[in-house]
Amino acid sequence: MIWYETPATLGMAMFFVLLLTAASQTIVALEAGELLRGKGALRFIRLLYGLLALISVILSLEGITAIASIEGGIYLPIPGLLRYFVILPVLLFLCSIKRPVELPKQLQPSVITFFIPLLLLPPVDRLPRPLPVAFAVFAVVWLMLDTVRMLLSFRIYSRTQITRGVMAHIIRGINHGICIANRRGWILEVNPAFISLCENLGIHKAERIAEFDAALRALHDDGRLKTSELENGKSIRAENAVYFLQRSSFKAAGKIFTQMSLSDVTVITRAASELEHENERLAQNNQKLKSLISDIELEETIRERERLCRAAHDLWSQRLAVAGLSIDILLDRENRQINVDTLEEIISALKEPIMAEPAQTICDLPEVLRWLTEMYGRLGVQIQIDGQADFTEREQEALCAVFREALANAVRHAYARHITVRFYEDSEKTGAVILNDCLDDKPDIVEGRGLHDIKTRIYHAGGSIQYKKDTAFELEIVFPKGMIKQEEVLA
């Protein structure tokens, strides 16, 4: 009754270990059928680990009985007759000596495994304490470790051991023809694929490699086949098929053998040809793409050049307007007495940096108008600003450049001294109107560089312009609200 001689914790641990050991031993007995082909070896392994699993189950039943007795407070006697089954592994070992069983070295059970269950015989319980408990614990641990070792051996054996029958099945099942010949050229072994491919070529019953080569040359001379030497083999072209023949030699058991492999590579050749044509098409498309990229780069260069031209035109147009106004002031006959302060203001206006077209930053439209009003005001041009409207950042950027150009044009070409800028806004559009007097009332308008730049900027910002001329020149800029919102959503 070793279960009543052990602490409850140790008894519980032994019970769980025995359950896991019994399950693992059962797995060993079942998996042996997947690795062992010999009936004797399979029967031996299954019988051994089946008996060990039975012993583990018997001990587990004793353990659960003792645990239930301790937990319930009722003493339950544990019969020990079932433990005499531990003698059966020893009898199996004696039978294996009389009738040896061939097992792989990796799957050979340890001799101690047959005898270790004897430590669990009922008479051992009568030994002085704590020897029966120590023997029982040692036997349980050994059985568990032996089962784990056998499971690991099964895994290693299943990965590394390939029987000759499996290898032969693989060779016969592959779709590449294989032929083995001895050093004298006599064909020893061929697989069905080699025979089938030779028949497709028109070669029948070749017993030597020399006969195979002679038949291949004859077919080539008759024009039925076309052969060509490659770096690592030979290409054979029939009417609608392509084959690849490769020859090599190897050494086994001190003898030299020749191996020929014959493969049908028709599908691969067609795929390679299609891939080559596809590569040519891709090369042509790449060339077209490079040409398009070059055109795009050229277009971007032209756009950048156009932007720089617009910026330069704005700068010099405004400087010319300032210079013209300055000259008018200096040549004013009614105002011959020009004081020093007026001259300094004119020189300052000519030297003051001109705001060029911004590349990245967003213009502040009110600030630009304030600056233009002050600058032209010092030179005798009155700019009146009326109304109010909200513009997007993109529209403000365009309007900043447009106002600089429009005001400079009004001063230079129309000699305007009074310019009106009016903003308006409704539910559908926002806009601005620039109005200045003209020297004549002719309606003809010559669109120069300035008007062209204005139209370009407004168009790129999503707006439109209208202009007319009689006694006054009127330029109207309109930005539809719906179109602007749609562009912002798409961006």
Confidence at 486, pLDDT banded by 50, 70, 90:
very low
- Residue pLDDT, tens place only, 166-190: 555 555 556 678 888 888 888 888 8
In whole angstroms, give the CA distance from residue 275 to residue 394: 49
pLDDT at residue 359, rounded to an integer: 42
In whole angstroms, give the CA distance from residue 133 to residue 1: 9
Dump the DSSP string for 86-120: GGHHHHHHHHHHHS-----GGGPPPHHHHHGGGGG
In whole angstroms, give the CA distance from residue 78 to residue 55: 15
pLDDT at residue 433, rounded to an integer: 93
Contact criterion met (CB below 8 Å) for 186 and 208: yes
Structure tokens at 300: 């971007």
Q: Which residue has the tokens 């006054």?
A: 472
- Residue pLDDT, tens place only, 351-360: 555 444 444 3
- Residue pLDDT, tens place only, 303-318: 666 665 655 556 555 5
pLDDT at 288 over 80: yes
Contacts 24+ apart (CB under 8 A), 438-445: 438/414, 438/469, 438/470, 438/471, 438/472, 438/473, 439/414, 439/415, 441/470, 441/471, 442/469, 443/468, 443/469, 443/470, 444/469, 445/469
pTM of the model: 0.38
| Mean pLDDT taken over the chain | 79
In whole angstroms, give the CA distance from residue 246 to residue 380: 98
**Amino acid letter at 315?**
L
- Among 4-8, 289-293, 332-336, top mean pLDDT goes to 289-293
pLDDT at 427 over 60: yes
339, 340, 342, 346 alpha-carbon torsion, rounded to 10°: 140
Q: Which of 58, 75, 160 minimizes the C-alpha distance to 117? A: 58
Percent of the chain past pLDDT 90, that is, above it, reads 8
- The sign of the torsion formed by the CA atoms of 267, 272, 277, 281 equals positive
C-alpha radius of gyration, the chain, whole number: 52
- Residue 282, helix vs strand vs coil: helix
In whole angstroms, give the CA distance from residue 40 to residue 471: 122
The three state secondary structure string of 297-358 is: HHHHHHHHHHHHHHHHHHHHHHHHHHHHHHHHHHCCHHHCCCCHHHHHHHHHHHHCCCCCCC
Cis peptide before 130 (omega within 30 of 0): yes
- Residue pLDDT, tens place only, 79-121: 778 888 888 999 988 998 888 888 878 788 888 888 988 888 8
In whole angstroms, give the CA distance from residue 374 to residue 418: 13
Residue 13 phi/psi, 5-degree rounding, is -65, -45
Contact criterion met (CB below 8 Å) for 320 and 412: yes
In whole angstroms, give the CA distance from residue 86 to residue 119: 9
In whole angstroms, give the CA distance from residue 300 to residue 141: 82
pLDDT at 15 over 60: yes
pLDDT at residue 160, rounded to an integer: 61
Q: Which residue has the tokens 């990796």?
A: 106
Structure tokens at 259: 């191996």
pLDDT at residue 380, rounded to an integer: 78
pLDDT at 491 over 50: no
- Residue pLDDT, tens place only, 381-399: 888 999 888 888 888 888 8
200 alpha carbon, distance to own chain's centre: 44
Pairing relationship of beta strands 234-237 and 226-229 according to DSSP bridges: antiparallel
Angle at 127 (CA atoms; ends 122, 130), nearest 5 degrees: 105
